[in-house]
Amino acid sequence: MNTQQFWTWFQKLEKKYYYHNKLSSEEFLNRIKEFRINLLEVNKYFGYIIKFKNDKSMLGEIIITAYGNKEIYQDVEAFVNEAPLLNHWKVIAFLQPSEDYKKFKEYIKEDFDIALTKLYFQPVKYYKTTKKFKLHFYSDQDLSIHHSKDLKALVIEILANYLGEKYLYEKIKDIKVYKNNRNRGRTYPFFRIKHCLKKRSKYGL
Protein backbone atom coordinates (compact mmCIF):
# COMPACT_ATOMS: atom_id res chain seq x y z
CA MET A 1 0.00 0.00 0.00
CA ASN A 2 1.39 3.41 -0.94
CA THR A 3 0.49 6.85 0.44
CA GLN A 4 -2.24 7.57 -2.10
CA GLN A 5 -3.84 4.16 -1.58
CA PHE A 6 -3.81 4.65 2.19
CA TRP A 7 -5.60 7.98 2.06
CA THR A 8 -8.11 6.73 -0.52
CA TRP A 9 -8.89 3.80 1.78
CA PHE A 10 -9.18 5.98 4.90
CA GLN A 11 -11.31 8.64 3.22
CA LYS A 12 -13.93 6.01 2.45
CA LEU A 13 -14.02 4.87 6.08
CA GLU A 14 -13.34 8.07 7.98
CA LYS A 15 -16.94 8.39 9.20
CA LYS A 16 -16.88 4.88 10.70
CA TYR A 17 -13.71 5.71 12.59
CA TYR A 18 -15.11 9.02 13.79
CA TYR A 19 -18.34 7.51 15.11
CA HIS A 20 -16.46 4.68 16.77
CA ASN A 21 -18.95 4.60 19.65
CA LYS A 22 -21.49 3.05 17.25
CA LEU A 23 -19.20 0.09 16.62
CA SER A 24 -19.10 -3.07 18.70
CA SER A 25 -15.94 -3.57 20.76
CA GLU A 26 -14.77 -6.25 18.39
CA GLU A 27 -15.37 -4.16 15.28
CA PHE A 28 -13.65 -1.16 16.86
CA LEU A 29 -10.53 -3.21 17.67
CA ASN A 30 -10.53 -4.61 14.15
CA ARG A 31 -10.70 -1.10 12.70
CA ILE A 32 -7.75 0.05 14.81
CA LYS A 33 -5.79 -3.04 13.82
CA GLU A 34 -6.58 -2.41 10.15
CA PHE A 35 -5.43 1.21 10.46
CA ARG A 36 -2.15 0.12 11.99
CA ILE A 37 -1.49 -2.59 9.40
CA ASN A 38 -2.19 -0.28 6.48
CA LEU A 39 -0.10 2.57 7.92
CA LEU A 40 2.88 0.30 8.51
CA GLU A 41 2.62 -0.93 4.94
CA VAL A 42 3.30 2.63 3.86
CA ASN A 43 6.24 2.96 6.24
CA LYS A 44 7.06 0.40 8.92
CA TYR A 45 8.67 3.08 11.10
CA PHE A 46 5.65 5.37 11.32
CA GLY A 47 3.84 5.75 14.62
CA TYR A 48 0.40 7.20 15.17
CA ILE A 49 -1.96 8.57 17.79
CA ILE A 50 -5.71 8.77 17.17
CA LYS A 51 -7.56 11.30 19.31
CA PHE A 52 -11.29 10.66 19.28
CA LYS A 53 -13.63 13.47 20.27
CA ASN A 54 -16.73 13.03 22.40
CA ASP A 55 -17.89 16.45 21.25
CA LYS A 56 -18.94 15.68 17.69
CA SER A 57 -18.78 19.35 16.70
CA MET A 58 -14.99 18.96 16.83
CA LEU A 59 -12.67 17.23 14.39
CA GLY A 60 -10.86 14.14 15.55
CA GLU A 61 -7.07 14.20 15.33
CA ILE A 62 -4.68 11.76 13.73
CA ILE A 63 -1.06 12.42 14.63
CA ILE A 64 1.60 10.72 12.50
CA THR A 65 4.87 10.50 14.39
CA ALA A 66 8.46 9.50 13.74
CA TYR A 67 9.00 9.16 17.51
CA GLY A 68 12.08 11.35 17.16
CA ASN A 69 13.63 9.26 14.36
CA LYS A 70 15.23 11.98 12.21
CA GLU A 71 15.72 9.56 9.32
CA ILE A 72 12.00 9.60 8.50
CA TYR A 73 11.01 13.20 9.31
CA GLN A 74 10.68 14.07 5.62
CA ASP A 75 8.65 10.89 5.03
CA VAL A 76 6.21 11.89 7.78
CA GLU A 77 5.81 15.39 6.35
CA ALA A 78 5.28 14.07 2.83
CA PHE A 79 2.72 11.52 4.03
CA VAL A 80 0.70 14.11 5.96
CA ASN A 81 0.89 16.63 3.12
CA GLU A 82 -0.73 14.04 0.83
CA ALA A 83 -3.74 13.64 3.12
CA PRO A 84 -7.01 14.73 1.49
CA LEU A 85 -9.38 17.23 3.08
CA LEU A 86 -11.35 15.06 5.50
CA ASN A 87 -14.81 15.82 6.88
CA HIS A 88 -14.22 14.45 10.36
CA TRP A 89 -10.46 14.41 10.94
CA LYS A 90 -7.48 16.71 11.16
CA VAL A 91 -4.17 15.07 10.24
CA ILE A 92 -1.11 16.39 12.08
CA ALA A 93 2.56 15.74 11.42
CA PHE A 94 4.69 15.01 14.49
CA LEU A 95 4.12 14.95 18.22
CA GLN A 96 3.35 18.40 19.61
CA PRO A 97 5.00 19.89 22.72
CA SER A 98 3.17 19.01 25.92
CA GLU A 99 3.29 20.94 29.18
CA ASP A 100 1.01 18.28 30.63
CA TYR A 101 3.98 15.95 30.44
CA LYS A 102 5.22 17.37 33.73
CA LYS A 103 2.31 15.63 35.45
CA PHE A 104 3.84 12.25 34.71
CA LYS A 105 6.48 10.97 37.10
CA GLU A 106 7.45 7.98 34.99
CA TYR A 107 7.48 6.82 31.39
CA ILE A 108 6.28 3.27 30.86
CA LYS A 109 6.56 1.44 27.57
CA GLU A 110 6.58 -2.32 27.24
CA ASP A 111 9.58 -3.51 29.30
CA PHE A 112 10.79 -0.01 30.13
CA ASP A 113 9.89 2.00 33.19
CA ILE A 114 11.91 5.20 33.53
CA ALA A 115 11.26 7.59 36.40
CA LEU A 116 11.31 11.08 34.90
CA THR A 117 11.97 12.55 38.35
CA LYS A 118 15.20 10.53 38.42
CA LEU A 119 16.30 11.43 34.90
CA TYR A 120 19.01 14.07 34.46
CA PHE A 121 20.75 15.70 31.53
CA GLN A 122 24.14 17.30 30.98
CA PRO A 123 24.70 19.84 28.18
CA VAL A 124 27.98 18.78 26.60
CA LYS A 125 28.37 20.83 23.44
CA TYR A 126 26.70 23.58 21.44
CA TYR A 127 27.30 23.61 17.69
CA LYS A 128 27.27 27.25 16.59
CA THR A 129 26.93 26.45 12.89
CA THR A 130 23.74 24.42 13.31
CA LYS A 131 22.65 25.94 16.63
CA LYS A 132 22.09 22.46 18.02
CA PHE A 133 23.07 20.74 21.26
CA LYS A 134 24.74 17.52 22.26
CA LEU A 135 23.35 16.16 25.53
CA HIS A 136 24.21 13.32 27.90
CA PHE A 137 21.56 11.67 30.05
CA TYR A 138 21.83 9.87 33.37
CA SER A 139 19.40 8.28 35.77
CA ASP A 140 19.43 7.65 39.50
CA GLN A 141 17.74 4.31 38.86
CA ASP A 142 19.51 1.19 37.64
CA LEU A 143 19.25 0.94 33.85
CA SER A 144 21.98 -1.67 33.40
CA ILE A 145 19.57 -4.40 32.26
CA HIS A 146 18.63 -2.40 29.14
CA HIS A 147 20.54 -2.24 25.88
CA SER A 148 22.19 1.15 25.25
CA LYS A 149 20.60 1.48 21.79
CA ASP A 150 17.13 0.85 23.22
CA LEU A 151 17.67 3.36 26.02
CA LYS A 152 18.72 6.04 23.54
CA ALA A 153 15.65 5.42 21.40
CA LEU A 154 13.43 5.61 24.48
CA VAL A 155 14.91 8.89 25.73
CA ILE A 156 14.52 10.37 22.24
CA GLU A 157 10.86 9.33 22.35
CA ILE A 158 10.47 10.97 25.76
CA LEU A 159 12.05 14.16 24.42
CA ALA A 160 9.77 14.08 21.37
CA ASN A 161 6.71 13.87 23.61
CA TYR A 162 7.86 16.68 25.89
CA LEU A 163 9.51 19.12 23.47
CA GLY A 164 7.60 18.25 20.32
CA GLU A 165 9.30 16.45 17.47
CA LYS A 166 10.07 19.47 15.30
CA TYR A 167 11.66 21.38 18.18
CA LEU A 168 13.67 18.28 19.08
CA TYR A 169 14.97 18.09 15.51
CA GLU A 170 15.77 21.81 15.42
CA LYS A 171 17.60 21.93 18.74
CA ILE A 172 19.26 18.59 19.49
CA LYS A 173 21.98 17.10 17.29
CA ASP A 174 22.82 14.03 19.35
CA ILE A 175 22.34 12.43 22.75
CA LYS A 176 24.05 9.72 24.75
CA VAL A 177 22.40 7.79 27.56
CA TYR A 178 24.55 6.26 30.30
CA LYS A 179 23.41 3.17 32.16
CA ASN A 180 25.23 4.18 35.30
CA ASN A 181 26.24 7.44 36.89
CA ARG A 182 30.05 7.12 36.61
CA ASN A 183 31.77 10.48 37.22
CA ARG A 184 29.04 12.49 35.58
CA GLY A 185 29.84 15.99 36.80
CA ARG A 186 27.10 18.60 37.04
CA THR A 187 23.71 17.52 35.75
CA TYR A 188 20.23 19.03 35.73
CA PRO A 189 16.72 17.60 36.24
CA PHE A 190 15.05 16.48 33.02
CA PHE A 191 12.30 19.10 33.18
CA ARG A 192 14.85 21.93 33.03
CA ILE A 193 15.81 20.96 29.50
CA LYS A 194 13.60 23.58 27.82
CA HIS A 195 15.25 26.30 29.86
CA CYS A 196 18.69 25.01 28.87
CA LEU A 197 17.86 25.01 25.16
CA LYS A 198 16.72 28.63 25.39
CA LYS A 199 19.32 29.96 27.86
CA ARG A 200 22.48 28.00 27.01
CA SER A 201 24.86 30.61 28.47
CA LYS A 202 23.52 29.86 31.94
CA TYR A 203 24.60 26.24 31.45
CA GLY A 204 28.17 26.99 30.48
CA LEU A 205 27.74 26.76 26.70
- Residue 106 is which amino acid? E
* pLDDT value for 144: 75
pLDDT along the chain (205 residues), means of 10: 97 95 92 97 96 92 93 96 97 87 70 84 94 93 79 90 92 90 84 92 85
Strands (DSSP E) along the chain, which ranges?
Answer: 47-51, 60-65, 89-93, 106-109, 112-115, 119-127, 132-139, 172-177, 188-189
* pLDDT value for 48: 96
* pLDDT value for 188: 94
- Cα distances from 94 to residues 91, 145, 186, in angstroms, run 10, 30, 32
* pLDDT value for 167: 93
| Residue 23 CB-density burial (10 A; 0-12 exposed, 13-18 middle, 19+ buried) | middle
* Structural contact between residues 131 and 172, judged by C-beta atoms closer than 8 angstroms: no
* pLDDT value for 98: 78
| pTM of the entire predicted model | 0.81
- Residue 87 is which amino acid? N
Strand-strand pairing, 47-51 and 172-177:
unpaired
Any alpha helices (H) in 19-69, and if so which ranges?
Answer: 25-42
* pLDDT value for 40: 97
Decide: helix, strand or coil at residue 141.
coil
The alpha-carbon radius of gyration of the chain (Å, integer) is 19
- The tens digit of pLDDT for each residue in 52-61 reads 998 989 999 9
